[in-house]
Amino acid sequence: MIAKLFAVLLLLSPVMASASTIDDIARLEQAKGGADAPVETAPQKETPAAPDQPASVRTVWYHLSDGRRVDVGHWQIVHFVRSDCPYCHRFNPTLKSVSEQTGIGIFVYSFDGKGDAVFPKVMPVNDGILKDFFAELPQATPTDFIINTQSLVTIPLSQGEMSEEALKQRLDESFALAVRLGVL
């Protein structure tokens, strides 16, 4: 009972990723155009940059269920998989579909260093990544976090397979939490 309560509290509280994690994501963001970049990106729902903003600043609007909209242009889903995980094989198409619908990119880490048909390009998990993301959570697959690539704020999103509707609900709850905490 206490373990379940702790897991729920952990899912509702943001954590910080280390600089090495954000460095990995930043390197891959810069290499997005390359054929070997292990980042899956979704089509973006962008608004043009204001005249005083650099062209590289993108605005991606995510609409919360309460009618508010939030700019998630600097947020990504960090997705943990194993190539032999049957839950990942069933969940990965759902995650990719939600990513395409929302414009939130996906960064994929693999516990065994291998991808699958949906996410063939992955980064292998190392000890630093395990410490950053799984200090208080079991190392289960699939596991997902949303991370702000600018501030490093990281919010646990899900663990295990779920439906598209359930995943969208978790995104809504996570971004609503980020808004309440002022970290969005």
CATH code of 103's domain: 3.40.30.10
Domain that holds residue 119: 2-181
Residue 20 pLDDT: 53
**Other C-beta atoms within 10 Å of 131: how many?**
12
d(CA 174, CA 168): 10
Residue 162 pLDDT: 96
Residue 25 pLDDT: 53
93 membership: H or E segment, kind and range = helix 86-102
Q: Residue 83: name the closest of 41, 29, 125 by CA.
A: 125
d(CA 127, CA 134): 10
d(CA 83, CA 124): 11
Residue 99 pLDDT: 95
Structural domain count of the chain:
1
Provide φ and ψ at 181, rounded to 5°: -85, -10
In the chain, which stretches have pLDDT less than 70?
1-58
Residue 23 pLDDT: 56
This prediction's pTM? 0.72
